[in-house]
Amino acid sequence: MWVIRLVLTVLVVVLLLLLGVLAHVITWAIGLFKPEIVPGIRSVYARMAMAVVWFFGGGKETVIGLENIPRDRAVLFVGNHRSLLDVVLAGKLIPFPVGFIAKMELQKVPLLNLQMRDINCLFIDRKDDRQALKVVLKAIEMVKGGQSMFVFPEGTRSKEEGVLLPFHAGSFKIATKAKAPIVPVTIVNMGDVLEDHFPRLKRVPVVIEFGEPIETASMDRNEQKELPERVRNIIADTYQKNAALIRPKTS
């Protein structure tokens, strides 16, 4: 049964990527006359596509705290990273355009890279400090301009469920320099959907919580310095709290 589900999910992903090329062309044409509506259209398509992928390949999610997301200004979402599907789940739930800061390797994936650029994703090379700095500076300007962004400050996926890697401090400058609020995003049990038994997909319980926004506009230097550990502790504590909501793993 899981093989059928995996094949269906892969076929759906390929179909959506192909349809995304059509959406790119159509929105490009629309942009010649009404460029201001293009980001919204592309965001709607991206969220719909992520929702379809999650329907076929994701788990059974419990969503907490959507009301915590500010709707009146750009936000930096900061989340823990366990799975390839983290972006799919979070992306389908955030109710407005958001770009993700992704690893450089995804820029080389045909069709996917096009659609990621369409929703203002940025590609970062963690091994190249100069390039990473340019990406952070670009993200700061985008947030100042009203574009919300999502970053996984661990820099790579954790290999063990419930274990957070160190948070890179540079990611938080996107919020502090842009004076934007940070919304912590905690995702629980995502590894049991795919990574713990790749390539098998399991429809298991997952919990995602959007925490209360942390204002950064008035932070002094010491508060900014402590911010990465503060957010990491919030996510760690939230993870432990919500892990209790997960039933014993199922086949």
User: What is the predicted pLDDT for the residue at 249?
Assistant: 47
**Cα dist from 249 to 105, 196, 203, 246, whole Å:** 32, 12, 10, 8
User: What is the predicted pLDDT for the residue at 248?
Assistant: 54
Helix/strand/coil for 97: coil
Phi, psi of 225 (to 5 degrees): -65, -35
pLDDT values of the chain reduced to their tens digit, one per residue, 251 residues:
789 999 999 999 999 999 999 999 999 999 999 999 999 999 999 999 999 999 999 999 999 999 999 999 999 999 999 999 999 999 999 999 999 999 999 999 999 999 999 999 999 998 888 999 999 999 999 999 999 999 999 988 999 998 999 999 999 999 999 999 999 999 999 999 999 999 899 999 999 999 999 999 999 999 999 999 999 999 999 999 999 988 654 44
User: What is the predicted pLDDT for the residue at 98?
Assistant: 96
Can you give the pTM of this predicted structure?
Answer: 0.94
Cα separation, 66 vs 55, in Å, equals: 19
User: What is the predicted pLDDT for the residue at 251?
Assistant: 41
User: What is the predicted pLDDT for the residue at 250?
Assistant: 43
**Are β-strands 98-103 and 148-151 bridged in parallel, bridged antiparallel, or unpaired?**
parallel
